[in-house]
Structure 1
Amino acid sequence: MNDLGQAAVSADKAPRTERGRRTVRKLLEAAAREFGERGFHEAAITGITGRAGVALGTFYTYFESKEELFRALVRDMSHATRSHVAEAVAGAPDRLAAERRGLAAFIAFTRKHPELYRIVEEAQFVADDVYREHYRSFVEGYRQGLATASARGEIVEGPDELRAWALIGMSVFLGMRYAIWGKDMPPEAVADHAIDLVSEGLRKRP
């Protein structure tokens, strides 16, 4: 998905060559398919190396265990998702426009990578610290964006961290419904309706 793979490997096993970095990338991509289809406990290292087309010994050149690879994969997928959304919102004229673009981009990304949900959700039982890190990294980005928008007068002032968690929660469940469970509405339409709710609320107006 991205170039985080090298950073996700422990310092003493980090690849030193371009060939090594490509191998780590192949292992991460193969792990996404293996864990996404079979889950952590049913997934096998031999299944991952088979999908990646590398020897079993090569796996242990970069990872100590299946769990270490899983942890690296969650961080890799988290980074890829944040990068995709950040690229989509770059240049947005204001915060509400950024929210629309970001939500649409998240749903579109999840449609291409449906394994994201199973792997991230399973992380809470396999590597809870990485699971929390995944969401806290999103929250911090949101919090900074909301604080900046508030300072510019684009949105009302409020508890930025709480609002960040609320917006992320909305995105997670909308992604589940419109990317994983069904694709009966374009991502842009989902984002339009959701952000209209955020900007206008439920209160009936004259």
Structure 2
Amino acid sequence: MFTGKLIKNEPHFRTRPDLIPKYHKYSNGTFGLFASKSMLQKMIAHAIKGNRYEVIGSLIGRSFYDNKGHYSILTNSAPAPFADVTHGTVTTTFKDEQFFKWVQEAYHPTEDILGWYHSHPMNLEGYSSIDRGNQSKWIEPYQIGLLVVCNYIQNKFTVMAYRGPESELLLPSYSVYKGGPEIEQLTEAA
């Protein structure tokens, strides 16, 4: 759960693209989210490395608005190296929040922390009530939560997207299979 103070820039007006090469597009009709496929694959590799434990991290990118409303572009993520982890729960620590801010400032100074991600290693699709409570702390409509759902029986890994404090589901989800070219190199390196 994020407990620190989020420092952010206000979204700038910029007409949204229809698509961005190498980005997955999530939408609800008026809101658009473009997530770097390499970032999504890195998050999946983090979840696989966590095995049967949940993992958690932050999302880095920029938010914009146009005549249709807000949209966000996620370019990178940072795993939480100091998280408190059990079978079924994961919580960031103050050291994690300091680490997220350091990564953002050192490596992505023109971007913001736009949200969080975590995994469900037991194929639990969708946010739990605890997840919805955590997401409700991200009060801006362009702030994002990503959920990596791990189906080890089918070796299928799906990243679901939620936005704003209402945990609005964005579609379509992003899915890959372990052994497929999208994540094989990343899991070997992890």
TM-score (norm 2): 0.25
More strand by share: 2
TM-score (norm 1): 0.24
More helix by share: 1
Instruction: Give 1 or 2 for the bigger CA radius of gyration.
Output: 1
